[in-house]
Structure 1
């Protein structure tokens, strides 16, 4: 056989095309001694001997990639581009990547696991604890201490932010809505007195 076209694998003793061997610049022919399949099997056995598990390689159709989280082969249209990866695609499909990012965000920002967040929402019966009408979807926290207070709807969470988490301002706003206008009295230039 022509050595430029095929090579004998030292493990399985078969003559295989040179494309079946990984490159190795330290060897005279520039190729590994074992074919890719035998090298993968040797690696798997070595890892299992150390108590580690190796993912089973699943055949994937051309133009698709397998997501390690949902374990589905999905078309490239359901993946984000990633120039730094070997195949040019992100490690997880868009759906799983979004879920992983969501979990990471709540853990990093609020110290909440998905189970803890779900328990908070369930404790509130799934509704905002201020308006008692809209679904609880936004984590509310104290901007000074970082302590999580509850889960609110978008409008109530935004309202607290607009009132800058100041109870005195919110009390005046509630009194104003009830028809009692608080008219401050000018006592000195730039100094106002509020009615008690």
Structure 2
């Protein structure tokens, strides 16, 4: 005979303490008929039959959390706070979250997968297309069409933005830097010649 603080699991037929069963308000005793272990095993088998995998539960020490992406158990100091989650911490550790945000940003903004971006940078030998010295770190695109042109360094990308992608202004700037004066020249009284 079962003692009052225990219940028999309908699957494994073991008499277990009430804490081994999940709650179910519709049952007379307020507990599920299967113990948590049997319910988890049933869920795992159903998911695998549907072609899905179920993550194995890993014991985590107090003050730590397991990241589902890198699968490492890390202290709470490696996590961002998130009031809306059940445990008050973000779903992914700081490193994985930063990588997921970076990947998502490039996919949303430019339609680039990480492999495509890495291929572009490798094609440029890892340097900026314009200055050929600084590392290529910033995706450059046409603002009218959104089409990606290449990967530039911060300075070159900012310079194109300051010139508002106007080729005529960029050509004048190049000529200016090369020492060609772009000021109107007085040819005759009241007549100025503009540079060609």
TM-score after normalising by structure 1: 0.89
* 1: CA distance, partners of 2:158 / 2:52: 48
* 1: CA distance, partners of 2:172 / 2:49: 70
Counterpart residue number, 2:189: none
* 1: CA distance, partners of 2:61 / 2:152: 44
Residues 164-191 of structure 1: CA distance to partner in whole angstroms, max 9, x if unpaired?
Answer: 1111111111111122221248xxxxxx
The alignment partner of 1:125 has SS state of: coil
How far apart are 1:57 and its partner, in Å? 1.2
The alignment partner of 2:145 has SS state of: coil
Counterpart residue number, 1:12: 12
How far apart are 1:11 and its partner, in Å? 2.0
* 1: CA distance, partners of 2:80 / 2:145: 36
For residues 108-187 of structure 1, what are the structure 2 equivalents within 5 Å?
108-184=108-184
For residues 1-196 of structure 1, what are the structure 2 equivalents within 5 Å?
2-3=3-4, 5-184=5-184, 194-196=194-196
How far apart are 1:109 and its partner, in Å? 0.6
**Relative to structure 1, is the Cα distance of residues 41 and 183 closer, same or farther in structure 2, using a 3 angstrom cutoff?**
same
How far apart are 1:90 and its partner, in Å? 1.7
Counterpart residue number, 1:188: none
* 1: CA distance, partners of 2:89 / 2:31: 27
How far apart are 1:6 and its partner, in Å? 2.7
Which aligned runs of 4 or more in structure 1 are off by greater than 4 angstroms?
Answer: none
How far apart are 1:16 and its partner, in Å? 2.2
* 2: CA distance, partners of 1:184 / 1:6: 97
The alignment partner of 1:60 has SS state of: coil
* 2: CA distance, partners of 1:194 / 1:66: 68
How far apart are 1:146 and its partner, in Å? 0.7
The alignment partner of 1:100 has SS state of: helix
How far apart are 1:193 and its partner, in Å? 7.9
The alignment partner of 1:81 has SS state of: coil
* 2: CA distance, partners of 1:45 / 1:118: 39
Paired residue total: 190
* 2: CA distance, partners of 1:103 / 1:50: 29
Residues 125-158 of structure 1: CA distance to partner in whole angstroms, max 9, x if unpaired?
Answer: 1100100110000000000011111100000000
